[in-house]
Structure 1
Amino acid sequence: MVRIFLSGAALLLCAIVVTSSLALAEIDDYTSGSETFFAHSDTLPWWLSAQSNTIFQWHPPFHADYSGPNSLDRRSDQAATEVATLYTGLELSPTLEAIADFEIGSGSGLSDSTGLAGLTNLDATRDLDGMPYVARLWYRLVIPLSDETVDAERGPLSILTTLPVRRLDIHIGKFSMVDFFDLNSVANDSHTQFMNWTVVNNGAYDYPADTRGYTYGGVIDYEDRFFGARFAEALISKRANGLNLQKNLQDAHSENYEIEVRPELIPKRFTAVRFLAFTNFANMGDYHQAIDLFEAGKTPVPEITDHRMQNTLKYGFGINAEQEFTDTIRGFARAGWNESEHESFNYTEVNDTVAFGGDIRGTVWNRPQDKFGVAFVGNGLSQRHRQYLALGGLGFILGDGALSYGPEKIMECYYNFPIPIHAGFFGALDLQYIDNPGYNRARGPVVVPGMRLHVEL
């Protein structure tokens, strides 16, 4: 009964997010078409821009029968992150460009980004130490396969303005795998849209990355008007969610595959369906082996890191769809599954997931730059993964010391709006409701309100 009441309260708070944002927006009817502080050239052979993203989140105390080392803190808690990125690019020829991005981050997520599979702030990685680092550094070569061309919009990750309709793109260097895979224009960017890890990305996609979300590798992308297919080979971390990547491909590597089809299901409305697969080879622990060692009395609790050096395989699949319904309304859906005998290694502790939602642009209420979005997610664990956590095992995100299993259920809504200071300033109010946090029916539910300040330079 309490959960039903809190769920209804979350929906009410979601409505309050919208009405409060509208009230703030009415302070000044700011509807400038510019979305950046400075105008950017469409003709110069180089690119320079920057952005800053600040997120504050809080949650009140919530019920918990017990807690463990990796639990979401049952007491009232608050956290903030700030991430700033400098984007640079150089057009070396009409078919060759170089991208170099530099980043700095500080702060932390709620409970130091533990206790939830669907963590509430995508910016909250475990290495926000305030030191700058290279985020992206890649070359892109475009191989034309047709004479027909289309106009392309310039942006921080590509400055080429004309592309062949049919082409082969080759990217080599440092990047985030989700710069190219599992893209979705409705739920893809935590700086302007949703913030939850399992809304912005497919929670079951254990894509290769260091703690900050980046890797080294190569991507081959074939593009046609209604079809795309891409493949990537990349480095994987030496240990679960580690900062150091394994440089020797014989010891660890990752393959990523995606096919994208863009049928016109509704006349003159964009549709995309993407089919994803991945294979990761790394020194990963085995849940079955960890449980056996514990039951044999060789470890005090199951320890997924207590295993011999071994090159093991983890694989998974996903589907990702988006649909434009009108000029102002869009929808999305994702689903994913991964092999569950081996430990979650890169992204988060999810073995299967389903997510869906949509957004609506504020044109309906005469605020064309405003946007409201809502999403629902269900995350699940395999039987072995559940047993490991129930016996007191720890993952790199989860570990309540015990487990009364229930699927982790999340609702998130946000309202994004321009701030009437200058073009390029945006604010957002966000609300997340999580039932069975960390897959535990003995804890929660928890409500997480948040705010975001985003600046585009």
Structure 2
Amino acid sequence: MIKKKVLFHPSIWALLATLFLLISTQFAFAEEDSTITHESGNVMRQSSGPNDSSSLENRIQELENQLQELESKVVLSEPEMIVKQKEIWACDNGHEYNEPLDGVCPNDQLPLRKEFTYQREKVFRRQTISEQIQKALDDRDARGLDIGVSATSTLQETFRLSGDDKGVQDLFGVGSTDIYFIGKPALYTLFFLDIEAIGGSSPDLEIENLSMLTSDVARREVDKRANVREAWVRTELLDQKLTISAGVLDITNYFDMNAVANDETTQFITDGLVNNLFLGVPSNGAGIVATLDPKIGFIFRAGAQRGASVEQGLAQKVYSIFELEYLAHIPGLQVGHYRTWVKFNENAERGSIAWGISADQKITAAVTVFARFGNQRKSTEYNRDDYFYSGGLELKTPHTFGIRDSFAIAFLSVDLASGVKESLAETYYNIFLTENLKTSFHIQYLINSNVGEKNKSYLIPGVRIQFDF
């Protein structure tokens, strides 16, 4: 059986020595009739006072407490092998010595020269309990499967401002819960699974529009059942310059991204502000995305996907998209991202092609602006294309009430060749309550939408609560 060596912290030895010295001193003072002989032969008696004895006992008790505290933090340490550089002196015949020996080899009288070698040594590294706990947590994270929960609840009230006499005035609510599973099966490889349940009623069911007033239900089934929203594996190749993700994907997580308007759980709730309306991605389904980042400021992405309701082979009627991103460093401004993409629905015919631009630019650390543009021609029946525009800005501290709050405002416009037009503005204030809880207040203004051949305008205030664990 191999015995483990117990090491004590140097502070413990110092405390033990001090404790021994103080105890010895206490015994010296405890003698009531100590005498001191002077040169004249006179003898003086001294006795220690009660105050000195009490103070000394308190000091000893304090040192004992410190000793116990240090002992409680010291743990057994496993021996570790380290490599150390060592100085040696050698002659031409290969004789080596640990000392210079006056510069002459005692065996053959040849001159010695200074050299360096390396040797392995077994050492015992001191560790505290907190270090051991942190190491155990790190090992668990490296091997295990992390689980997270996210829940979002959105309430929206509709008020008709103009249009149909009847209109829609009602309270709508949507709630969704996601359970995430994240694992690392291999080096530079990530596994992700998202199981989601969503239910409720959106204003989009009652108000005809193009912008999608509740993005949380876009491209999802509101059936109150648990569904696999995403399930994919991602691996990094070529010194982490090439990333490939394959499985059940949400294409909007890879294309048309935007730092200010791309997350319906923490930013805008209008889907036309979360993504370009002409992106036209199918519902989450089997797909693959490749990202090439040569670390020179340009990023190229390519993706292909089938919707969730696939009945034929995966190679038929594939949605495909390509994107080029440029990481900009404009003098006088902070970092900016500029992206352009083109997508194909099933084939490369004119009616299935759309392209767009997505840009976000930091003006300062607290101010970011964004813009999107989209173009498509859905049918040869009209002699003009469809157009989409959106833009806005986001403000953070010191322009907010809370240090981690955010405020944003944006506007979008859709102009279709068929004559359908719609505009919408949205503003929100996101309040950071804790690491696990955030809430935001929204106001949406649907402006002169003629979808359904009826002009209408609505004011839609709302509130969203977001939980993350």
TM-score normalized by structure 2? 0.65
1:107 paired residue among 177, 191, 200: 200
Question: Across the two proteins, how many residue pairs are aligned to each other?
Answer: 324
Higher helix share: 2
Which residues of 2 match residues 14-413 of structure 1 at below 5 A?
Answer: 44-45=141-142, 46-65=145-164, 74-112=167-205, 115-125=208-218, 127-145=221-239, 164=240, 167-207=241-281, 209-210=282-283, 214-225=284-295, 226-236=297-307, 244-249=309-314, 251-266=316-331, 269-281=334-346, 314-341=352-379, 351-365=386-400, 367-383=402-418, 386=419, 405=420, 407-413=421-427
Higher strand share: 2
Residue by residue over 1:258-300, the C-alpha shift from the partner in whole angstroms, topping out at 9 and shown as x without a partner, is 0001120145711110011100117xxxxxxxxxxxxxxxxxx
| Alpha carbons of structure 1 residues 87 and 351: separation in structure 2 relative to 1, 3 Å | farther
Contact 1:204 1:353 in 2 (8 A): yes
Does the residue aligned with 2:399 lie in a helix, a strand or coil?
helix
Letter paired with 2:329: E
**What does residue 456 of structure 2 align with?**
444
CA distance in 2, matches of 1:113, 1:223: 44
**What does residue 414 of structure 1 align with?**
428
CA distance in 2, matches of 1:266, 1:103: 44
Shift of 1:366: 5.4
**What does residue 304 of structure 1 align with?**
none
Contact 1:117 1:438 in 2 (8 A): no
When Rg is computed on C-alpha atoms for both structures, the one with the higher figure is: 2
Shift of 1:380: 1.5
| Alpha carbons of structure 1 residues 435 and 229: separation in structure 2 relative to 1, 3 Å | same
CA distance in 2, matches of 1:353, 1:313: 16
Contact 1:47 1:88 in 2 (8 A): yes
Contact 1:269 1:325 in 2 (8 A): yes
Contact 1:203 1:352 in 2 (8 A): no
More moved, 78-87 vs 359-368? 359-368
Residue by residue over 1:95-135, the C-alpha shift from the partner in whole angstroms, topping out at 9 and shown as x without a partner, is 21111111110102115265010011101346211100111
CA distance in 2, matches of 1:247, 1:63: 46
Does the residue aligned with 2:356 lie in a helix, a strand or coil?
strand
Does the residue aligned with 2:155 lie in a helix, a strand or coil?
strand
Letter paired with 1:254: Y
CA RMSD of aligned residues (A): 2.5
Residue by residue over 1:203-227, the C-alpha shift from the partner in whole angstroms, topping out at 9 and shown as x without a partner, is 11112x22xxx12111111013311
CA distance in 2, matches of 1:353, 1:95: 38
Contact 1:186 1:331 in 2 (8 A): yes
Contact 1:53 1:191 in 2 (8 A): yes
TM-score normalized by structure 1? 0.66
Does the residue aligned with 2:328 lie in a helix, a strand or coil?
coil
| Alpha carbons of structure 1 residues 374 and 222: separation in structure 2 relative to 1, 3 Å | same
Contact 2:175 2:200 in 1 (8 A): yes
**What does residue 402 of structure 1 align with?**
none
Letter paired with 2:318: H
Higher RCO structure (Cα 8 Å, ≥6 apart): 1
Contact 1:235 1:246 in 2 (8 A): no
| Alpha carbons of structure 1 residues 113 and 316: separation in structure 2 relative to 1, 3 Å | farther
Unaligned runs of 5+ in 2: 1-136
More moved, 367-376 vs 311-320? 311-320
Residue by residue over 1:212-254, the C-alpha shift from the partner in whole angstroms, topping out at 9 and shown as x without a partner, is xx12111111013311001011114xxxxxx613442454111
Unaligned runs of 5+ in 1: 1-40, 67-72, 146-163, 237-242, 283-310, 344-349, 387-404
Does the residue aligned with 1:189 lie in a helix, a strand or coil?
coil
| Alpha carbons of structure 1 residues 366 and 79: separation in structure 2 relative to 1, 3 Å | closer
| Alpha carbons of structure 1 residues 196 and 438: separation in structure 2 relative to 1, 3 Å | farther
**What does residue 447 of structure 2 align with?**
435
CA distance in 1, matches of 2:314, 2:195: 26
Shift of 1:94: 2.4
Residue by residue over 1:116-172, the C-alpha shift from the partner in whole angstroms, topping out at 9 and shown as x without a partner, is 100111013462111001111111110034xxxxxxxxxxxxxxxxxx4xx000111
**What does residue 295 of structure 1 align with?**
none
CA distance in 2, matches of 1:185, 1:449: 24
**What does residue 123 of structure 2 align with?**
none
CA distance in 2, matches of 1:257, 1:114: 33
Letter paired with 2:440: A
Contact 2:258 2:358 in 1 (8 A): yes
CA distance in 2, matches of 1:275, 1:114: 32
Shift of 1:62: 3.9
**What does residue 31 of structure 1 align with?**
none
Does the residue aligned with 1:198 lie in a helix, a strand or coil?
helix
Does the residue aligned with 2:398 lie in a helix, a strand or coil?
helix
Residue by residue over 1:305-361, the C-alpha shift from the partner in whole angstroms, topping out at 9 and shown as x without a partner, is xxxxxx996110000000011111101000001221189xxxxxx942100001001
Contact 2:306 2:318 in 1 (8 A): yes
**What does residue 37 of structure 2 align with?**
none
Does the residue aligned with 1:188 lie in a helix, a strand or coil?
coil
Contact 2:168 2:206 in 1 (8 A): no
Seq. identity, %: 21
Contact 2:333 2:363 in 1 (8 A): no
| Alpha carbons of structure 1 residues 366 and 230: separation in structure 2 relative to 1, 3 Å | same
CA distance in 1, matches of 2:289, 2:400: 42
Contact 2:334 2:362 in 1 (8 A): yes
More moved, 355-364 vs 311-320? 311-320
